Amino acid sequence: MSEDRMGYNAMVEGAMLNVVRKAIETAATEGLPGEHHFYITFRTDHPDSQLPDHLRKRYPREMTIVLQHQFWNLTVDEHALEVDLSFNQKLERLRVPLDALITFADPSVNFGLQFHPSAPEQDDVDGASDADREDMADGGAPQNDTEIEGEAPSDSDGDNVVTLDAFRKK
């Protein structure tokens, strides 16, 4: 097979990021219509990801957030989305670089995109497990450490954690 000198993969990734950007812009300016909601999985170990230290310690590689009923100050620009979410009834600001995205999904309409963010350099040396290295070599992303729903405060003192395994194709 010939070498792709046109850069089709980069073009497709850029187009998919534009879809995400537009969806987030719509949610930020008009709210989420109907039953629409977003699952956004991103690399927390991306150098430009910004999240509170306690969340970074708990989710050192990646995290999934849910934007549905309660999120505040949602913005997006060419490089990142920012949003305030409630974790244990405390508002926290997250900055998610678009090039740190792993997946973007709107399950209400069975829509999803998968990205291939580059792994931080330390993963190549000693941060990745053998399984993660195999996944990355095959063009995939390492598996989640965990997933979290950071959409709404609850009446209990527990975390807003949701397991998305039921929604994943295996």
C-alpha span between 121 and 31 (Å, rounded): 37
Q: What is the pTM of this model?
A: 0.71
Give the pLDDT band (50/70/90) at residue 168. Answer: low
Q: What is the pLDDT of residue 34?
A: 95
What tokens does 161 get?
């954690």
* Structure tokens that stand for 165 in this block: 């395994």
Q: Is the pLDDT of residue 122 over 80?
A: no
2 pLDDT band, cuts 50/70/90, is confident
Q: Is the pLDDT of residue 160 over 80?
A: no
94: CB partners within 8 A, 6+ apart:
50, 51, 55, 65, 82, 83, 84, 85, 150
Task: Give the chain's mean pLDDT.
Answer: 79
Instruction: Label each residue of the chain as H, E or C.
Output: CCCCCCCHHHHHHHHHHHHHHHHHHHHHHHCCCCCCCEEEEEECCCCCCECCHHHHHHCCCEEEEEECCCCEEEEECCCEEEEEEEECCEEEEEEEEHHHEEEEEEHHHCEEEECCCCCCHHHHHHHCCHHHHHHHHCCCCCCCCCCCCCCCCCCCCCCCCCCCHHHCCC
The backbone region for 99, taken as left when phi is positive above 0, alpha when psi lies in -120 to 50, beta otherwise, is alpha
Percent of residues, the chain, with pLDDT higher than 90: 63
Per-residue model confidence as pLDDT tens digits over 61-90: 999 999 999 999 999 999 999 999 999 999
Q: What is the mean pLDDT of residues 99-123?
A: 87
Full set of structural domains in the chain with CATH: 8-167 (2.30.30.220)
pLDDT surpasses 60 at 139: no
According to the model, what pLDDT value does residue 118 have?
73
Is the pLDDT at 128 greater than 90? The verdict is no
Confidence of residue 17 (pLDDT cuts 50, 70, 90): very high
Residue with tokens 């991306």: 46
